[in-house]
Amino acid sequence: MRMLLIEDDRPLGSAIREQLVVDGYAIDWAKDLAEARHYASVADYEIILLDVLLPDGNGIDYLQEISKRAVSRRVMIMIMTCRDQTSQKVEALDAGADDYMVKPFDLDELSARIRALARRRGGYMPPTCKLAPLTIDAAERSPNWTDIEEALYCFGSEIESNTVEVDIRRLRKKIGRGLILTERGLGYRLVDTW
């Protein structure tokens, strides 16, 4: 799952990004709205983590902008701010936010809320396929090269042209060659041996 973090506080943003990478998410980090607009113009995100008080504008205004554009694709938006008044929470939720966290917050709670957003969005699937000692979440899916690169590597990362091939080769070495098939022109597919 790919996320966009919009947070100008560098220590907090760094801690959030680190936590979410450990949790297995691909995350891009914008420090202001101009950078966020740039990221949003070149990538699709399932979840946006949005601060309200940003150096170049108000996060609620950007939230309304996102909500108007994201008609065809549902983007889940979590507000993260120090604004703790009920009226401010109501304003954000009415503007289109899916969740609201008041700073400071615990990173474990943030992770749990993101998992809840993913379940509501439909991006979370319980384990569906067991192959030897592995449990695979994405049954019946053959991702293409772009999907794999976007899911594994954050936007702006320098990726060698054969990075995915090398990772797949290493994975095949660990779990066996016959369990991951190459779909020519598409990507890879897991074989359910049961």
The mean pLDDT value for 12-35 works out to 94
Report pLDDT for 12. Answer: 97
How crowded is the C-beta side of 162, counted as CA atoms within 13 Å? 3
| pLDDT above 50 (res 139) | no
pLDDT band at 128 (very low <50, low <70, confident <90, very high): very low
The bridge status of strand 47-51 relative to strand 2-6 is parallel
Give the pLDDT confidence of 39-97 residue by residue, as tens digits: 998 888 889 999 999 999 999 999 998 877 754 357 899 999 999 999 999 999 999 99
Distances (CA, A) of 56 to 6, 37, 53, 59, 176: 12, 12, 9, 9, 51
From CA 50, how far away is CA 32, in angstroms rounded? Answer: 10
Which of 1.10.10.60, 3.40.50.720, 1.10.10.10, 3.30.1180.20 is the CATH number of 129-190? 1.10.10.10
Q: Which tops the pLDDT comparison, 179 or 122? A: 179
Handedness of CA 17, 19, 22, 25 (dihedral sign): negative
Report pLDDT for 185. Answer: 67
Report pLDDT for 140. Answer: 47
| pLDDT above 90 (res 14) | yes
| pLDDT above 50 (res 124) | no
Interacting residues of 182 by C-beta distance below 8 A, sequence separation 6+: 188
From CA 88, how far away is CA 58, in angstroms rounded? Answer: 13
Return the domain boundaries, the chain. Answer: 2-121, 129-190
Report pLDDT for 121. Answer: 74
CATH topology assigned to domain 2-121: Rossmann fold (3.40.50)
| pLDDT above 60 (res 112) | yes
The mean pLDDT value for 31-38 works out to 96
From CA 25, how far away is CA 151, in angstroms rounded? Answer: 8
